[in-house]
Amino acid sequence: MSDAANAETSTDWQAWQESWDRQQEWYLPDREERFRVMLDMVEAVVGPEPRVLDLACGTGSISDRLLKRFPNAVSVGVDQDPALLTIAEGYFASDERVTFVTADLTDPGWTAALPHDSYDAVLTATALHWLRLDPLATLYGQLAGLVGDGGVFMNADHMKDETTPRINAAEHVQRHAAMDREKAAGVLDWAEWWALAAKDPVLAAPTARRFEIYGEHADGGFPSLEWHARTLREAGFAEARGVWASPSDSMVLALK
């Protein structure tokens, strides 16, 4: 066995998965609560054995929670990030319920790479803000074609309400004060986490490719919850509204 193969075999994928979760939770203290509500609504709308598309799946955080709660579910994770997909594929290597697909969501033909034509649920979190509004609206139209009749789409992300500047400012100050305290206690931020990945013998090459694809961070936007709900209805969903919110984030649900 080659040195590279030995390194990959010995990599602690669960540790990388947990490390990613901790880094994300620093930015999103209500992250687990929104995952819980997301899965509550999956069960309410399509039942406990769904076929799910984990959209912009990253390390597979949604798929992980989905399959722990619903053992008879199946999930297809799609992303373009080679580093996060490497972690996801390592973490779920022995789980036949999960399939991963590499695809660029801004490519008009990305859905052709998927193994199924329709899904009971399409779920995504903290990801689609990487897209500008026009590509995001186009994506919503594509998703309306992927979600089966009676199926559901949910997007949890920062959805900024520009009509409440003082509330926004107060929330920002409070949240960042808590983040500063946690940072002083040793929590890794985004840049520090990626710096560790860049030094790992297995993740170094896919991390370099990842930054070639994306750059440092998102070039998209944070439209309001109302924008998301309206755009999803215009894309072909029958109903759409918010089903969860924290002081800084929201989740929109669209029903086909």
CA angle 66, 75, 249 (to 5 degrees): 50
| Residues in Cβ contact with 50 at an 8 Å cutoff, skipping those fewer than 6 apart | 42, 70, 73, 74, 119, 120, 121
Q: Pairing between strand 74-79 and 98-102?
A: parallel
Listed in sequence order, the DSSP H helices in 92-164 are 133-146
What is the full per-residue pLDDT of the chain (256 aa) written as tens digits? 444 545 556 899 999 999 999 999 999 999 999 999 999 999 999 999 999 999 999 999 999 999 999 999 999 999 999 999 999 999 999 999 999 999 999 999 999 999 999 999 999 999 999 999 999 999 999 999 999 999 999 999 999 999 999 999 999 999 999 999 999 999 999 999 999 999 999 999 999 999 999 987 767 889 999 999 999 999 999 999 999 999 999 999 999 9
Q: Which pLDDT score, from 0 to 100, does residue 10 have?
A: 80
Q: Give, as one character, the DSSP assignment of residue 30.
A: T
Q: Which pLDDT score, from 0 to 100, does residue 221 have?
A: 86
CATH architecture of 3-255: 3-Layer(aba) Sandwich (3.40)
Buried b (16+ CB within 10 A) or exposed e, 216-250: eeeebeebebebbbebbbebebeebeebbbbebbb
